[in-house]
């Protein structure tokens, strides 16, 4: 095989990154240059949502375990980063009974976000190992119960989170440029993880855990390591979100937001990073259009009654349709690679077929 052939095969194999990153960057530059402030805000939120979705995809897409817990890690990262970066005077006013040690803490935003991710990863490291021993329904139910525990702690620990009330005063730091850079880094990390030995071992346990155990793969360990890494990414995404929205409460990290992240994964396809990216695009655009439609219906008095929950209803129906007609999602488990449409009659090598199947 010639050098050019090898280079061409390598480019085709990793062309997924170009297919995802080039439109992300070009669209971001166009929106930042010509778009309105509303469009800029929407694109920034889209980039932060990408970080959250890929955090979930790294674990759920490669392990096959439905994880409800990751929105809790997003909340842990958001609160940790917010507490560290918010001015002491603002914290004293907004959370009067906060621990004095936390009130005095004040760090720059970027280290605060990174520390928030480390805090989320530390929580995952503490609680994760016994959870990773469970599979199927037991694993899903346990992870769901863990989310409830995290939510109760955030709601009741008013010395840290201000309880169910709003935590406000977080610096406005996450711009569209920051969002694009963060999304690029997370996509690169998710792709590297998918291609890494750890990612391959985790997918092996997903496809057949008994066969994986027979060849020496420690299912619990690979799940545990991935769980911690994905919690780190979720915590960092939570810090970015906190410094974009600037005020929030524990209800922002519960069922409705987790349902939104799962809908992005299910519709696009949780088995690939291309599916996670596509699902985030589809749901973000559809959600905003449905919000505008709902607002227009109510403001124009098209119906004799007020319409609420149209966005959630349509998203739920779309998820059902995708699960019925295309269980693997719009993209499925394969990555988008160049050329997107292969010429008829062109044979693929066994290596390419194996890579597509993975």
Distant-in-sequence, close-in-space partners of 110: CB < 8 Å, separation ≥ 6: none
pLDDT value of residue 332: 73
Number of domains the chain is built from: 1
Is the per-residue pLDDT at 315 higher than 90? no
Per-residue pLDDT, averaged over 335-350, amounts to: 56
| Predicted TM-score of the model (pTM) | 0.88
Alpha-helix residue ranges (DSSP H) falling in 35-135: 37-63, 70-85, 88-94, 100-104, 109-131
pLDDT value, residue 307: 80
Q: Decide if 152 contacts 234 (C-beta within 8 A).
A: no
Give a yes or no: residue 24 inside a domain: yes
pLDDT interval class at 296 (50, 70, 90): confident
* 351 has pLDDT over 60: no
The single residue listed with the structure tokens 């199927």 is 136
Q: Is the residue at 135 inside a domain? A: yes
Domain boundaries, position 206:
13-250
Token pair belonging to 347: 């044979």
Q: In this model, does residue 329 exceed pLDDT 80? A: yes
Region 180-186: mean pLDDT is 96
| 321 within a domain of the structure (yes/no) | no
Name every residue whose Cβ is closer than 8 Å to that of residue 270 and which is 6 or more positions away in sequence. 57, 60, 61, 276, 329
The CA distance from 340 to 16, in Å, is 10
**82 falls within a domain:** yes
How many Cβ atoms are within 10 Å of 274's Cβ, its own excluded?
Answer: 23
Which of 61, 70, 49, 66 has the alpha carbon at shortest distance from 286?
A: 49
Q: Is 67 part of any domain? A: yes
Mean pLDDT of the chain: 87
Q: Token pair of 238, please?
A: 């939570």
Q: How confident is the model at residue 7 (pLDDT cuts 50, 70, 90)?
A: low
For residue 248, give the 3-state DSSP assignment. Answer: strand
Would you say residue 350 lies in a domain?
A: no
Domain assignment of residue 85, yes or no: yes
282 assigned to some structural domain: no
């Amino acid at each position: 095989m010639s050098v050019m052939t090898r280079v061409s095969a390598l480019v085709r194999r990793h062309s997924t990154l170009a297919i995802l990153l080039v439109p992300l960057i070009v669209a971001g530059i166009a929106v930042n240059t010509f778009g309105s402030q509303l469009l800029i805000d929407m694109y920034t939120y889209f980039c932060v949502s990408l970080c959250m979705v890929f955090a979930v995809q790294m674990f759920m897409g490669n392990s096959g375990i439905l994880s409800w817990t990751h929105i809790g890690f997003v909340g842990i990262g958001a609160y940790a980063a917010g507490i560290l970066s918010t001015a002491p005077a603002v914290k004293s006013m907004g959370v009067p009974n906060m621990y004095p040690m936390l009130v005095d803490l004040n760090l720059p935003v970027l280290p605060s976000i990174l520390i928030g991710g480390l805090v989320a990863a530390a929580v995952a490291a503490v609680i994760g190992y016994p959870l990773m021993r469970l599979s199927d329904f037991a694993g899903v139910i346990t992870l769901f119960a863990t989310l409830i525990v995290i939510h109760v702690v955030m709601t009741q620990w008013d010395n840290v989170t201000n309880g169910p009330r709003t935590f406000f005063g977080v610096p406005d730091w996450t711009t569209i440029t920051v969002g694009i850079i963060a999304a690029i880094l997370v996509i690169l990390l998710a792709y590297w993880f998918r291609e890494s030995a750890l990612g391959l071992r985790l997918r092996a346990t997903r496809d057949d855990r008994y066969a994986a155990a027979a060849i020496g793969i420690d299912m619990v360990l690979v799940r545990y390591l991935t769980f911690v890494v994905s919690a780190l990414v979720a915590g960092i995404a939570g810090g970015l979100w906190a410094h974009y929205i600037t005020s929030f409460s524990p209800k922002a990290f519960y069922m409705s937001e987790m349902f939104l992240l799962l809908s992005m994964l299910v519709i696009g396809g949780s088995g690939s990073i291309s599916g996670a990216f596509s699902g985030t695009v589809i749901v973000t655009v559809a959600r905003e259009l449905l919000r505008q439609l709902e607002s227009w219906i109510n403001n124009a008095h098209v119906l004799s009654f007020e319409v609420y929950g149209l966005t959630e209803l349509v998203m739920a129906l779309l998820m059902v349709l995708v699960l019925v007609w295309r269980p693997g999602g719009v993209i499925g488990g394969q990555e988008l690679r160049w050329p997107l449409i292969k010429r008829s009659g062109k044979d693929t090598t066994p290596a390419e077929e194996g890579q597509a199947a993975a």
